[in-house]
Amino acid sequence: MDSEAQNKVDPPLKGIRVLDFGQVYQGPYATYLMAQAGADVIKIEAPTGEPLRQREVRGGAAVFQMGMLNANKRAITLDLKTEKGKQLLRDLVPHMDILLENFTPGVMDRLGVGVEALQKINPRLIYASGTGYGLSGPDKDAMAMDITVQAMSGIMSVTGEDGGPPVRVGPAIADFMGGIHLYSGVMTALYERERTGKGRLVEVSMLESVYPTLASGLGAMHENNGEVPPRPGNRGALNTAPYSVFKAADGYISIFCLKENHWTNLCNAMSQPELITDSRFATSEARAQNLELTELQVTNWSSQLPKDEVFRLLCEHRVPAAPVRTMKEVSASEHMFARDSLQKLNHPDLGEVTLPTSPLRYQGTPQTKLTPSPRLGQHNHEVLAELLDLSADQVDQLRAEGAI
């Protein structure tokens, strides 16, 4: 055995078993991170499938999303509206370390399988609940979608162009930030259980997950002067320039001169050292006061070159910058493939796809290779035989009765 193989260690969550009632993005992303860390994640859906799977019939992005978010999981079906379906859940719980759901608050309690009922069966169970606005508070029952959470959190109020309407951030950041925080909460509770032997309820709201992002300048501006921060578009909200997205010959590039030496380096990269001592651009405050003129100097230079050439020059001169890449360009990123953060996967339903892996790295453990997302109920026989010792005929009978 070579030394590299000897140094490999098991993934950190090997041996941890998860019941995943996650749906759409928030819950499934948290459990995807668990699966990538080595946990045995068993995705549970109603016999009709979770909402995101139901969208698959329309094709497009939903198929890709299911392919990523449920990779490396096993899938079974349970109908919790039937008594036999609920009893199957109760039978599975003693074998579990974690149960995660992101239903509307109170759904599992009304079905008789909420946290108190299940922890009576398994006191070591960590029960994770992801919601839009939390399990308590006056807004807890408001319907939460990513766009509504962005609106409620204040994020939309500072996104968009000055004088224009509020704009949502393109990706579903509230869902995914909620999923990340849900994962971290579960890991914290799992660590605690090692000391106490007891599980606990972990809850995370999407609202509270994204609100702290406003601390990056905009929220502080409100606290300092009590005024509503402006919508700065691509420009920085702080008194810093240049800080924006600039035209290149074949697209756009983002440039941010946070420090004075960044501006000096940018001037040298543009072969315009005379701008360094020009009183109109000599300080960040001066450049902000002459913002249009400052940005014109940069655009006149960047627009003559391809964005990757601008990026190369600015990297050489140590200026914070990056090309604005399309999704197609990102999916071909040499850097991300080199880090194994993108993998190609032959999916039985999707064909060859390029999907992201977990951003978490564990020294000594290779990045988990993606396995295709399971079809609805694909592992019913396997999981129920393995954990509950049910025969194939018994599983078929449960399906015939509508329990799975």
Strand 126-131 and strand 17-21: the pairing is unpaired
CA distances from 109 to 70, 102, 325 (A): 26, 13, 45
Query: Which two structure tokens, joined as six digits, stand for 107?
Result: 């759904």
CA–CA gap between residue 402 and residue 394 (Å, rounded): 12
| CA nearest to 253, candidates 201, 320, 342, 186 | 320
CB burial readout 158-183, b (16+ within 10 A) else e: bbbeeeeeebbeeebbbbbbbbbbbb
Place of tokens 């627009």: 303
Helices and strands (H and E) in the chain: how many: 20, 11
Structural element, H or E, at residue 43: strand 40-45
Tell me the three state secondary structure of residue 253: strand
Furthest-apart CA atoms within the chain: distance in Å? 84
Q: Is the peptide bond before 356 cis (omega within 30 degrees of 0)?
A: no
CA–CA gap between residue 122 and residue 111 (Å, rounded): 18
| CA nearest to 207, candidates 181, 237, 233 | 181
What backbone phi and psi angles, to 5 degrees, belong to 204?
-140, 135
What's 307-376 look like in SS3?
HHHHHHHHHHCCCCEEECCCHHHHCCCHHHHHCCCEEEEEECCCEEEEEECCCCCECCECCCCCCCCCCC
Q: Which of 175, 349, 389, 396 is catalytic?
A: 175
Contact (CB, 8 A) for 136 and 162: no
Active-site residue 141, yes or no?
no
Catalytic annotation, residues: 175
